[in-house]
Amino acid sequence: MKTANLAIVFTDIKGFTERTSRQTLEENQRLLQVHEALLAPLFKAFGGRIIKSIGDAFLVTFESPTQAVLSGIAIQDRLWHHNRPLLEDDQIHVRVAVNVGEVRVENNDIFGEPVNIAARVEGITDADEVFFTEAVYLSMNKAEVPSQEVGSFDLKGIPGKIRVFRVPRAPYRVEAPSPDAVLPTPEEASSLPPYGNLALARVADPGLDLGVLGQRAAVVGAAVGQRAAAGAVAVGQRATVLGKQARTATDALWARTYAKLPPAITSKVSSTVAGWCVCVALLAVVLLGGGLLIGEGGATLRAIRDVEGTTGQEKVSRANEARRLIRQEDPDQRNYLNGRLEEAQGNWSQAMSYYAQAVRKDGNGRAESRLISLLKHEQCGVRSGAADALASLRLESARGPLETLADDGGPNDGASGGFLGLSTCDSKKAAQSALKRLAAN
């Protein structure tokens, strides 16, 4: 029998059971994916080892009780950043509880009274809080972690009272951010997160603009570039609105046309070349004054595009205005427009989930076209995610573009990517796998 003295962390999402009862399976899966993408990198950054994940709950061990509590603080601040631009129903609020003691280690699992105590303390922890036991308080480095006693509690199945402490809210000593971190804007600095980035500032890549499909480094770099040239980007975006609309309409027409061609033709014709031919034709229509490219939700799409290239409170305000306009659109357009908004914020996983819902529930052709167009995206993770979404929808209209990606691949294939950036991203393989699923249809 192997034993070890470890710090044990339990987390779960507030109101998860009730939330599940009013979500579709896809919505619930997306919630859990985002939840894992937010928390798992921070556990790892502070030396944690995820023992198990059951639904919305994590059981994690740390060799250092100080690092365990710091990971909880970082998680709560990270979630504060994540929740700021979201409506209340879309936010994620978790409880974090920490205990320390000698546990039995068997088959990548842990057992013993310290685990039971941690689970019971988690049950009395408030949402958005970090609670820990007296054992943690006595063994952690108090110079690094502020603390405040909550009280003594009788916990079910645990003999005697257990003294429980919490991490108080800021203001208190706040660490300067690391050189690699994205600096807050003045608007952000005026409204600090609950724990003042005390622990999150120690993480080189806190993921304040996390791309759930493993593009964290690219997203942080884009955020810095956007902040440095926000005005220029905004002007450029407005100047290319017509071009974007033309490309979207091109993809829609090409997808539908290609799907109707006989196999004798599609096996010999490159979808890329044919697509550009359609693009040229559509561009001619635009130059002649045609109005075919003006779609529904024009004002809303302009508001969504205005979100791009902004940061801080301005980004939050513009995103909220876009959401207000989306709620006024026809119901069969809302999922598509929500997808465009998530895309404008760099949240690719959420965007593709919305597009998939728009196709599945609303029969939205623009969402279908958008997913197909993302097979040509410069980021490998985005292409792979689009291929998976199209395969799950069993869209025959995507067969041609998927075959092109399966044959030619795309930039950055083979680079570090995938979910959480822990695997190798290969959009070519993703397209091949999607085609196998289509063939099984």
Domain presence at residue 209: no
66 in Cβ contact with 145 (< 8 Å) = yes
Q: Nearest to residue 226, comparing CAs of 95, 146, 314, 332?
A: 314
Cα(289)–Cα(340) distance, rounded to whole angstroms?
A: 26
Domain presence at residue 242: no
Domain presence at residue 45: yes
Phi and psi (nearest 5°) for 52?
Answer: -160, 155
DSSP 8-state code for residue 88: G
Residue type, 85: P
Q: Rounded to the nearest 10 degrees, what angle do helices 230-239 and 216-228 cross at?
A: 100
Neighbours of 162 (CB within 10 A): 19
* 118, 140, 166 - which closes a domain: 166
User: pLDDT at position 441, please?
Assistant: 57
Cα(422)–Cα(210) distance, rounded to whole angstroms?
A: 14
Neighbours of 430 (CB within 10 A): 27
CATH of the domain at 121: 3.30.70.1230
Cα(421)–Cα(415) distance, rounded to whole angstroms?
A: 10
421 in Cβ contact with 410 (< 8 Å) = no
Cα 354 to chain centroid distance, Å, stands at 13
| Domain carrying residue 324 | 296-412+424-439
376 in Cβ contact with 383 (< 8 Å) = yes
How would you class 72 by CB atoms within 10 Å of its CB: exposed for 0-12, middle for 13-18, buried for 19 or more? buried
Cα(65)–Cα(42) distance, rounded to whole angstroms?
A: 15
388 in Cβ contact with 374 (< 8 Å) = no
Cα(226)–Cα(224) distance, rounded to whole angstroms?
A: 5
| Ordered per-residue pLDDT tens for the chain, 441 residues | 799 999 999 999 999 988 888 889 888 898 999 999 999 999 999 999 999 998 899 999 999 999 999 999 999 999 999 988 888 888 999 999 999 999 999 988 999 999 999 999 999 999 999 999 999 999 999 999 999 999 999 999 999 999 999 999 987 644 444 445 444 454 544 467 899 889 998 886 555 444 443 333 333 333 334 433 344 334 344 444 444 444 444 444 544 554 444 544 444 444 444 444 544 554 544 444 444 334 446 789 888 988 887 888 888 888 888 889 998 888 889 989 999 998 888 888 888 888 888 888 888 889 888 999 999 998 888 898 898 889 888 888 888 899 899 888 888 787 654 444 445 688 888 888 888 888 765
Phi and psi (nearest 5°) for 134?
Answer: -60, -35
Beta bridge partners of 102: 5
What is the tally of structural domains in the chain?
2
Q: Rounded to the nearest 10 degrees, what angle do helices 331-344 and 365-373 cross at?
A: 20
48 token code pair: 């944690």
Statement to judge: residues 162 and 303 lie in one domain = no
Domain presence at residue 262: no
* 143, 166, 189 - which closes a domain: 166
Angle at 385 between CA 318 and CA 241, to 5 degrees: 40
* 166, 199, 232 - which closes a domain: 166
DSSP 8-state code for residue 417: E
417 in Cβ contact with 217 (< 8 Å) = no
Cα(380)–Cα(22) distance, rounded to whole angstroms?
A: 33
User: pLDDT at position 151, please?
Assistant: 96
Domain presence at residue 281: no
Cα(7)–Cα(378) distance, rounded to whole angstroms?
A: 42
3-state secondary structure 140-170: CCCCCCCCEEEEEEECCCCCCEEEEEECCCC
Statement to judge: residues 157 and 303 lie in one domain = no
Cα(85)–Cα(310) distance, rounded to whole angstroms?
A: 13
Residue type, 55: G
Domain presence at residue 199: no
User: pLDDT at position 177, please?
Assistant: 44
Domain presence at residue 389: yes
Domain presence at residue 356: yes
